[in-house]
Amino acid sequence: MRLLGFYGLMLHVAIVYCTELTFELPDNEKQCFYEELEEGVKFDIDFQVIAGGNYDVDCFVTDPMNNVLYQERKKQYDSFSHTTTTKGVYKVCFSNEFSTFSHKTVYLDFRAGEEAPLLPDMNRATALTQMESSCLSIHEILKVVTDSQTWYRLREAQDRIRAEDLHDRVSYWSIGETIILFVVSVGQVLMLKSFFTEKKTAVAAST
């Protein structure tokens, strides 16, 4: 598969074209990815914001005639499937233009095409053997495991980023409290010192 965009990532696997990437989306910016597909090809898109702001982005998908196939505003995550009706370049865009300060990190999984048969004789009309059925079941289970690993990896990335952000805030708060305590302590010492200085001046004046 050929995916054109900011990252220019390319991955070709059998008849199924699959691209999985994580990219940065700065504030007030938009990034688009372009994919040339044949007619009658089914493609699936999964995305999730894993860092930044309220964890939301705008996303839209258009066909070669620039018709909008999918459009959602401020989504944290979503999935979209479509079967192409015309040959040409399809566009997937992510926008963070509504955000003024928040820098986002977005995960994208793009899959196009049909999966090749697991076994060469899978398309025959006869029933599958016990070994073929077992292989097919294991294959389906492994796909579920792969999807689960991806989901847990994204959750781990989200939790790690939130923990690091919380750690930074706690560190800054601790430093601020330390500075405030130091300033207050110095101020109290100077204030007490001024009291004793005034008493000595008053005693000296009376004598």
| Phi-psi map region of 24: left, alpha, beta (phi>0 left; psi -120 to 50 alpha) | beta
| Residue 82 CB partners (closer than 8 Å, separation 6+) | 42, 43, 61, 69, 70
Question: Percent of the chain at pLDDT above 70?
Answer: 80
148-204 per-position pLDDT tens digit: 777 777 777 777 777 887 888 888 899 999 999 999 988 888 888 777 776 666 555
pLDDT of residue 200: 60
Q: 103 with 109: CB under 8 angstroms?
A: no
| Residue 73 CB partners (closer than 8 Å, separation 6+) | 58
Q: 124 with 49: CB under 8 angstroms?
A: no
The model's confidence at residue 32, banded by pLDDT at 50, 70 and 90, is very high
CA 33 to chain centre: 16
Residue 115, amino acid: E
| CA–CA distance, 125 with 45 (Å, rounded to integer) | 32
Statement: the pTM of the whole predicted model exceeds 0.75: no
Question: Percent of the chain at pLDDT above 90?
Answer: 23
Quickly list DSSP for 138-187: HHHHHHHHHHHHHHHHHHHHHHHHHHHHHHHHHHHHHHHHHHHHHHHHHH
Strand order from edge to edge, sheet including 68-75: 3-4, 30-37, 88-95, 57-62, 68-75
> Where are any strands of DSSP class E within the chain?
3-4, 17-25, 30-37, 42-51, 57-62, 68-75, 77-83, 88-95, 104-112
113-156 per-position pLDDT tens digit: 776 655 555 555 556 677 767 777 777 788 777 777 777 777 77
What the chain holds in terms of domains, given with CATH numbers, is 3-116 (2.60.120.380)
Residue 50 corresponds to which tokens in the numbers above?
């894993």
